[in-house]
Structure 1
Amino acid sequence: MALRPWSCSFQAGSAGGEPRSTTRGARGSTNNNDNNKHNKDKQIKQPKTTTKEVDVRGAQELSIASSQLQKLVALGTKASLDEVSDIFSTEFCEWKRNPKRATVVLSCLAKQRLPHIARHVLTSMLVCRADANVFHYNAVISASGKGGQWQLALSLLSSMSEMRILPDRVSYNAAIAACEKAGQWQLALSLLSSMPDMSVCPNDISYNSAMSACEKGGQWQLALSLLHGMRSMRAIPDEISYSAAISACEKVGEWQLALNLLSSMPDEKVVPDQICYNAAISACEKGGQWQLALGLLSGMRSIVAVPDKISYSAAISACEKVGEWQMALELLSSMPDMRIIPDEICVNAAISACEKAVEWELALGLLSSMPEMRVIPDEISYNAAISACEKGGKWQLALVLVTSMPHMRVIPDEITYNAAVSACEHGGQWQLALCLLSSMPDMRIVADEISYNAAVSACSKVGQWRLALSLLSRMPDMRILPDEITYNAVVGVCEKAGQLQLVLNLLNKMFSCTYSVLLRFRLCTGDFKRG
């Protein structure tokens, strides 16, 4: 793991969420008759001196912490407890007098995403009997969450009661966020539900993290339930709450619910932001509602939310899915007018729209113009363009694209080769189809049933029944199960060649294979009745 250069911006006197000092250096009273003018002048100047002393003291704390943390970062993620203890051996006595110094160190470790080092620091404090408080634990729990160590975060939270430290809302929020980041939605919900039992009131941050965890876990019903239950716990939903709920609906294709949530936000005095709109547009895209997606996109321009690349890529994808290639191209061409630079996702969606409409010339034009748009084509770009050529019967261009990919530092995949083999099959180029199939292992690409079906079909179309039969016999060795398409192609070419005995054998195998597959399916699904 590469460590980032050390940097920590931390305000002295408010480390780790600890309350700032309420000392303001107010002027002393001048009502005492014994105070002379000299004393009055000293009293007037006192606030300035006190403030400077606080600033200097805070700067010194940060300087000391920075020096120590430089050493910690140099140790790396595998630092031992002894190594960490040695660095702070001279500081523990001072930490006993001033716990804020420890909070500064632990909070900065959280920002650096170094949970194990933060845990070692906390352990060293406990061993040296330096009083650890809730701020210290909160900082380490936060470090654990940011570092992807959700188990450590939960362990620290549970150990607080053993140390007679009461977890607060910050403790629970940090632990819930750790679970959310790791996709542990059940644990996030368990923590949220346990907060009232610990006399800790959840807030919007608590609910937002839990909803986001549900969204990542595909639990859209639970996300909606949390959103609707927030006000009963005196937590006010905000745009983050709604964006998490809308995204949860978007991921499972519930576009109607996503739009209902978006439209209800003004009634709840919540202004939809860019993320809310993007999630709603993506929900419409998944649901095939391209008109609604375009309506949302145009509506963004008239309110606070400003469209970005994600907004346009979702809208273009919505058009691509239903074959509205003209609209997809129009959206792509309008992006520079909105001062939005298209990325590969936007252009790929437009190429795919042209591919589905068999507009191979436009697809190739977009692919060739990507460098001018400062967009680097990837395998998705090439695969869509090759598929467009395949559908347009341009097998020569498909092969040119395949051979040009390595020069563009783009690695072909099975989709690339399947489209190219299929292009040769449509063009009657069975030799080239077989050549591509045989070259796939050299490219470390595993052929699948699509690859073999296209090659078998290429041989069948030109009466090469022996080659078709040979490919069929090789499929089990490649751990590929022939399907109905495979057998139909081979049976058809053998029948035309007058190989009736082979036809009968193939039909028996086909029936046996189909029955075996059906039997396994029914056993797996439990849909099997004894006679």
Structure 2
Amino acid sequence: MIYCKQSTDLIQTLKTQCKSVKQIYQIHAQIITRGLLSLHPSSASRLLTAVLHTFNSLLSAPHRHHPVSPHYPLSVFNLITNPSTFCWNTIIRSHTLLSVPETAFFIFTEMRRRCVPTDAHTFPFVLKACAQLNEVKLTRTIQSESLKLGFISDVFVCNNLVHVYCNCGQIDDAYKVFDESPERDVVSYNVILDGFIKAGEIEHARKVFDEMPVRVRDAATWGTMLAGYAQTKRYDECLDLYDQMLVLGVPRDNVSLVSVLSACARMGKLEKGKQVHDCIEHSGIRIDSFLCTALVDFYAKCGCIETARGVFEASSDKNLFTWNAMLVGLAMHGYGELLLGYFSEMVKTRVKPDGVTFLGVLVGCSHAGLVNEARRLFGEMGSVYGVSKELKHYGCMADLLARAGLIKEAVDMIESMPMLGDVFVWGGLLGGCRLHGNVEVAEKAAEHIMEISPEDGGVYSTMADIYANAKRWDDLTKIRRLRDSRRVKKNAGCSLIQLDGVTHEFVAGDDLHPQSDEIYLVLNGIGQHQFQPQDQLI
């Protein structure tokens, strides 16, 4: 309980001691019960303005736990006699922080109706309300108003305009505001970079990045570009940019490192990822839940499942994504029993599973042949854990049951689904039919796949194998003719191999180049290369 002996202590107390909204309520109660609102209007206004300002500061904090009514700040504001521009700005901001943008915009309209002068802080707050409303027309109106009143050249106004247009998907309008802005800071560049990346225009983002003065770039700038390359699957460029970052001595943050680890995982760059991990440990960077997730995912995808477990077990900051990365990693490596143990531990720690969790669990059960466990968990998804079954979950179950030879059970499940099966559902059934030689059901599954995805070449190859194994040569000839008549081609398989820290890629039918001769000989058991610990078949 906060108590102030003298009224002059109240404002200072608000600024220095208030750590929660509840404490603001306590001070507000003291203002009322001690009759301070009957003081000189200017003194009462200063007290109430301080209440509002502190209220906003607490709402802006990263973690707030106390539920707040949007009516409270407005009730305080209505008590202020002749509120100043600062008061109006503060109450507008309160409603953006409370995610009540309609009220924020209404208050701004009332402010203009009363001819209260605006300042450079008014428009950024109003533009945040426009961003929450996702209203392009309102944004253009505010842009015109700020131009008329002479605030369009203010860097904060411009930055918020760029952000709103990016948020509304109007990247051309955003860039126009950015390009015409007379003053730019690091936020200006970061906002437009993020806008281009979210719009999928990575080339435009790189152009802005290259034009940006090196001295202006901060960790967020580099992190945004690295994340953009990782999200658009341009992993080579992501790693090249990271190397450039190292040369320039730019401090790395968690966002940058997560993106680089993601690129390493996708490309199988084990040594590069290990270097990143070493850098994290030697730099004293805190491994938060996101960085832990990236490390677990990286090591699992690169085949180092025990190292992934070590990182996971050492972390005290695990969230749902971290658990999912561990479960999916164990599923990939066929550790079904261990995966179920981790799942039980996850539930005990009160982490609520989601669809990805069950996808990993079902895949792990499928690889380990744990049919009964998969049946039980699949049945409990909705009733016990409140997770809706999606097509991908049905696909896993179809694959698991069919692999186990339970073809009829798989067919019954597919036919009872509340939605139509997709390629993965019928494909899982088809794979099981090939394994167990069930030609009749395989033909039914193949028919569905051809109807859904006629360009899928894999189904023709699978049916050709099934007919060949059953010695049904006429049907084998028919399926091949059908494939040729539809001009369907199966995509060539791609292989990656890492030798001496260098990743090489080739597909079936490639001509051998001089640098790939050794790879070819090694794969065919002819070469003399001795595999080293850093070499990987990916």
Q: Would you call these one fold, judging by a TM-score over 0.5?
A: yes
What residue in structure 2 maps to residue 305 of structure 1? 285
- Counterparts of residues 289-438 of structure 1 (less than 5 Å): 289-303=269-283, 305-335=285-315, 340-406=316-382, 407-438=384-415
Give the drift of 1:202: 0.8
1:67-466 equivalences under 5 Å are 73=70, 94=82, 98-149=84-135, 151-163=137-149, 166-196=152-182, 201-231=183-213, 236-255=216-235, 257-259=237-239, 261-262=241-242, 270-303=250-283, 305-335=285-315, 340-406=316-382, 407-441=384-418, 445-459=419-433, 464-466=438-440
Output the CA distance in 1 between the equivalents of 2:481 and 2:465: 15
Q: Does structure 2 retain, via aligned residues, the 8 Å contact 1:142–1:153?
A: no
- Paired residues of 1:320 and 1:353 also in contact (CA < 8 A): yes
Does the 8 Å CA contact 2:457/2:488 hold for their aligned counterparts?
Answer: no
The whole-number CA distance in structure 2 between the counterparts of 1:230 and 1:94 is: 45
AA aligned to 2:199 is G
User: Does residue 46 of structure 2 align to residue 58 of structure 1?
Assistant: yes
Using the alignment, how far apart are the partners of 1:130 and 1:250 within structure 2? 48
TM-score, length basis structure 2: 0.69
Deviation at 1:183, TM superposition (A): 5.0
* Amino acid paired to 1:452: W
Q: Percent identity?
A: 16
Distance 2:295 2:476 in 1: 50
Letter in structure 1 aligned against 2:123: Y
Gap regions ≥5 residues in structure 2: 1-11, 16-39, 56-68, 492-538
Question: SS at the partner of 2:334?
Answer: coil
Specify every segment of 5 or more residues in structure 1 that has no aligned partner in the other structure, as ranges.
1-8, 13-51, 76-83, 519-531
C-alpha deviation, 1:330, in angstroms: 1.9
For the residues of structure 1 that align with 2:263 and 2:464, how far apart are their CA atoms? 44
Deviation at 1:195, TM superposition (A): 0.6
* CA deviations over 1:444-483 (Å, ceiling 9, x no partner): x43112322333454565555444444455667x746484
Equivalent-residue separation in structure 1 for 2:293 and 2:263 (angstroms): 13
Q: Per-residue displacement from partner, 1:40-79 (whole Å, max 9, x unpaired)?
A: xxxxxxxxxxxx9976442244679999xxxx9559xxxx
CA contact (8 A) 1:114 1:144 kept: no
Is the alpha carbon distance of 1:212 and 1:314 closer, same or farther for their aligned partners in structure 2, counting shifts above 3 Å? same
1:311 is displaced (CA, Å) by: 0.9
Deviation of 1:360 (Å): 2.3
Partner of 2:347, secondary structure, is: coil
**C-alpha spacing 1:164/1:204, structure 2 compared with 1 (3 Å):** closer
Given the two structures, how large is their TM-score scaled by the length of structure 1?
0.69
Q: CA deviation at 1:435?
A: 1.9
Seen in structure 2, the aligned counterparts of structure 1 residues 226 and 456 have a Cα distance that, compared at 3 Å, is: closer
Cα distance in 2 for residues equivalent to 1:474 and 1:165: 62
Question: Is the contact made by 1:114 and 1:147 (CA closer than 8 Å) also made in structure 2?
Answer: no
Q: Spell out, residue by residue over 1:386-418, the C-alpha distance to the aligned partner (whole angstroms, 9 max, x if none).
A: 222322344444334323433333333222222
Rg larger in structure: 1
Count of residue correspondences = 443
Distance 1:152 1:394, change over 3 A: same
Instruction: Report the Cα distance in structure 2 between the residues aligned to 1:356 and 1:139, rounded to whole angstroms.
Output: 48
The CA distance in 2 between the partners of 1:381 and 1:423, in whole Å, is 17
- Give secondary structure in 2 for the equivalent of 1:301: helix
Q: CA RMSD in A?
A: 4.3
Report the Cα offset of residue 298 of structure 1.
3.1
In 2: Cα distance, 1:54 partner to 1:267 partner: 57
Q: Deviations over 1:99-148 (max 9, x none)?
A: 33333333333333333333333333444444444443333123323554
The residue number in structure 1 matching 2:535 is: none
- List per-residue Cα deviations over 1:360-379 (Å, max 9, x = no partner): 23223322332244433333
